[in-house]
Amino acid sequence: MTGSRDNHPDNTAVSFLIEDWLTPMPGRQILVMGADDCTSANRIDQLAREIVSFDSKDPGESTNSTGVVEFITGDPQSLPPDSHRFDLLISPFLSARMAITREILQAFTRLLRSDGHLLIMDNMIPGSRLRGKKARQLGAAGEYINAWMKLRNPQHKQYLSEDAWIDLLADTQFSIHGTATLEKTEDFDTWADCYSPSRNDRIRLQAMLVQAPEKALRFLTPVRSGDRIAFRMTEIFILATLAKNTD
């Protein structure tokens, strides 16, 4: 079930229906790579509770089997290796705080059971694995947005395009079960205030937003309303499972 769905149930933390992506599993063991900011943390906590509630509604199973949710922070590669004890690993907005590499994703495989699922939730940038002028423009737009993010937060690492995520997952022996996207409107002032930029950096951030190159501008779609500016970010959700030949 791979494809994009932009319609988002307003009362859920994600852009898809949980019952479309997961099968009820009472007692599901869930590991969450902790989200740093309060807004994301609240959403992830909500999602975990929704999944546990969804699992408990399976009429064919005992209601005494309660799911377990663990939250951790830090580098996945520093976790105990080869535990293989989790049914679902949720990775929320990880690319902003660490480079997503094949080694990071391999660390995830060592935490999951053989039939486990990995749920990626992250901000997405333009990009394409194809060649040609349009692909180069999309790649440049993605680099521009990452530079913009790094000006706001010097610790920012690198958001990825959908193609980059899928290629990395495939290279780590994950099979893609589903993808979806969600467009979110951000208020520029609220977004900038998260990291308290200097006055000069705030001016540069605003200038980079409204004067972005065509592909980046189309992706961010800034809109003025009085003295306020809003723009769009796109979140991506990917559900992946370990390929059958993965050790």
Distance CA 65, CA 63 (A): 5
Please choose, from the candidates 93, 26, 116, the residue with its C-alpha nearest in 3D space to the C-alpha of residue 65.
Answer: 26
The CATH number that domain 18-242 falls under is 3.40.50.150
How far is Cα of residue 104 from the mean position of the Cα atoms in its chain? 15
SS (H, E, C) 201-227: HHHHHHHHHHCCCHHHHHHHCCEEECC
Distance CA 51, CA 229 (A): 35
What was the pLDDT predicted at 7?
43
What was the pLDDT predicted at 70?
87
Could you list the pLDDT tens digit for every one of the 247 residues in the chain? Answer: 544 444 444 456 788 889 999 999 999 999 998 766 556 778 888 899 999 999 987 655 555 567 788 887 766 666 666 678 899 999 999 999 899 999 999 988 888 998 899 999 999 999 998 889 999 999 999 999 999 999 999 999 999 999 999 999 999 989 999 999 999 999 999 999 999 999 999 999 999 999 999 999 999 999 999 999 999 999 999 999 987 655 5
Strand-strand pairing, 228-242 and 112-124:
antiparallel
Q: How many C-beta neighbours within 10 Å does residue 237 have?
A: 20
Are 174 and 105 spatial neighbours (Cβ–Cβ below 8 Å)? yes
Strand-strand pairing, 86-92 and 29-33:
parallel
What was the pLDDT predicted at 186?
96
CA distances from 58 to 65, 70, 116 (A): 11, 22, 19
pTM given for the model: 0.88
What was the pLDDT predicted at 121?
95
Q: Which residues contact 120 (CB under 8 A, 6 or more apart)?
A: 91, 165, 169, 236, 237, 238, 239, 240
Strand-strand pairing, 228-242 and 174-187:
antiparallel
What was the pLDDT predicted at 83?
76
DSSP state of 78: G
